[in-house]
Amino acid sequence: DIQMTQSPSSLSASVGDRVTLTCQASQDIMKYLNWYQQKPGKAPKLLIHGVYNLEAGVPSRFSGSGSGTYFTFTITSLQPEDVATYYCQHYRELPLTFGGGTKVEI
Amino acid sequence: QVELRESGPGLVEPSQTLSLICSVSGDSISSGNHWWSWVRQSPGTGLEWIGYIYYDGRAGYKSSLKSRLTISVDPSRNQYSLRLTSMTAADTGVYYCARRFGSGVHTDWFDFWGQGVLVTVSS
């Protein structure tokens, strides 16, 4: 199975800060990577598919980049409503696997 | 608006079988535009893809669960279900149903999710 490793596991930043999370795959997953946001007690919400494709309605302060085994997710100006845990997920092959998440706090 | 809703018991005894149903509204399983998935989440293993099914019954399972897992579909009811046998404490977690975006190759992102159901394995 492809292992997805996210770092850091948690971070604390200030409103307006630029925040960057990383996700590393244990093997080449090309551009088959998604990002989700999960708030406490809620289901994950899809933010980005295929590395950089923002879902409809998702604020443009969220972005993604990368390919192969190294990927980043950036919030350009952190807002209070962005407090959540963020997960990456590959879809290079089955089984689909998720990273362990990065918890973002203010 | 697409909505998914899980239903089933919140408590299962060890060695027993978990049965969950996902009811879909706002979309038709029989359209063939999507695969329909189960994902679970526990503190120990995080988010874990379990498997998915197509309207015609074709399914894909996580290999480590394959011997205990059955996912089935009822297009006439616009529902699909999960059956997991020989439950242990390691199967405790929140079970989500989720819609896989597409039906083609490399369209495996989950764009709509149910609210999740907490399943606890305990006697």
At residue A37's C-alpha, the angle toward residues A101 and B90, to 5°, is 50
For residue A22, with 0-12 CB atoms within 10 Å meaning exposed, 13-18 middle and 19 or more buried, which class applies?
middle
CA torsion B35-A44-B7-B25 (nearest 10°) is -50
- Over residues B66-102, the pLDDT tens digits come to 999 999 999 999 999 999 999 999 999 999 999 999 8
Would you tell me how many other CB atoms lie within 10 Å of the CB of residue B76?
8
Taking contacts as CB-CB distances below 8 angstroms, the residues of chain B near A98 are 46-49
pLDDT of residue B33: 93
- Interchain proximity A100–B49, CB inside 8 Å: no
Residue of B nearest to A54 (CA): B111
Q: How confident is the model at residue B43 (pLDDT cuts 50, 70, 90)?
A: confident
Find chain B residues with C-beta within 8 A of A42's C-beta: 115
pLDDT digits (tens, 9 = 90+) for B13-34: 999 999 999 999 999 999 999 9
Distance (Å) of CA B59 to CA A24, B5, B113, B114: 28, 20, 19, 19
pLDDT at B104: 81
What percentage of chain A carries pLDDT values higher than 70? 100
Q: Does A87 touch chain B (CB under 8 A)?
A: yes
> What is the pLDDT at residue B102?
84
**Neighboring chain A residues of B113 at a CB cutoff of 8 Å:** 43-45
